[in-house]
Chain A
Amino acid sequence: MEQRPDPLAETGLQFFGKISASISHEINNALAILNENAGLLEDLCVMAEKGKALDPQRLQKVAGNQLKQVRRANDIVKRMNRFSHSIDEPVSQTNIGELMGLVLALSNRFIANKNIAVDYAPPETPVLATTNPFFLENLLFNCLMQALETAGPPKAVSVAVTPGESAPVVVFSGLEGLANGDEGFPGEQEARLMALLKIDVRVEPARKTIAAIFPG
């Protein structure tokens, strides 16, 4: 008998896998640059052994490049750590603005691959909701991916988190390619996440927006 995991768990695992793969790619890129800088130091040593003078400024530049990549990898690992811990509590009071910032940072690679500029200014005052942070990240990531698919021209998406009139709202705007009925979005995965989180995702082609409206 075929055993299939719970569809919601499957959705969450797919999301976790996608983000982990992207993060591993980013870390690997930083490691590749560190590797080449270490190789360059070896090259300089070989040249010094052959009598070519070592230039301290050249060495300083290599050290600076290495530090830059260490800081970059450290930021990526911090994001990964925050993301991994978001699954710790099934329900918690969550700062939506911060969580949206994390989702965007985790999506760097996806955004860069689409060559789309994403504009996001976190709300000035915290916008809070009691929710499941991991699955909220999943739903907002899916909304962002759909926004990237339907962005522009120009290739730009704006993201805003607002307290709303009665409940928080996350709006993805500038979706010039959004059309009536041809998006297939929200799909099955999003429907599961929306049911769990009691969030309404509205696709509004006239306004060129996708909005995630939290329960009041």
Chain B
Amino acid sequence: MSEKVLLVDDENDFLDVMSERMKSRGIDVSTSTSAKEALKLTQDGNYDAVVLDLMMPEMDGIEALAALKEKHPEIQVILLTGHGTVEKGIEAMKLGAMDFLEKPIDMNTLTEKIHNARAQKMLLVSKKTEEKIKKIMTEKSW
């Protein structure tokens, strides 16, 4: 099964070409031009990774990252920026970003990070399920 990714950037031209390239690599990609819309799209939590631009109107990538991680701690977020700074990178990692990439992006690096994101998400989901089962086992008397 392919990785399910949401790509968020306010530049339509960037979304078009990136999604075409990602699809040709077997990634199941959806796009959004705003962080607010991205939060709605991720409500069911079924994305493996969200690739998020740092600078966007209304709600920037850092705010969106915090909101995403609060609702879906297992979702892996990769931040993109046109002018990455060490400070922003540290802030993003502290908030739980999986990684931080500077534009222009190297597609092979991004693809590799998306593969890793899916593995990481599956690990977190399986841990969560294991914990749930353990809890049920200890709470119920059979």
Could you list which residues of chain A lie within 8 angstroms of chain B, going by C-beta atoms?
21, 24-25, 28-29, 31-37, 39-40, 43, 47, 65, 68-69, 109, 112-115
Contact = CB atoms under 8 A, between A and B. Distances in A.
Interface stretch (B11-19, B69-77, B89-97, B124-132): B11-19
Contacts of B83: 21, 24-25, 28
Contacts of A114: 57
Interface in B1-51: 10-11, 13-14, 17-18, 20-21, 24
Contacts of B105: 32, 35-36
7 contacts: A24-B82, A33-B11, A35-B105, A36-B107, A43-B24, A112-B10, A114-B57
Contacts of A40: 17, 20-21
A35 B104 contact: yes
Given A21-B83, A24-B83, A112-B57, A43 B11 contact: no
Residues of B in contact with A, size category: 20 to 34
Interface residues of chain A: helix, strand, loop or mixed (majority): helix
Tell me which of A29, A31, A37, A43 has the highest count of chain B C-beta atoms within 10 A of its own C-beta.
Answer: A29
B20 A69 contact: no
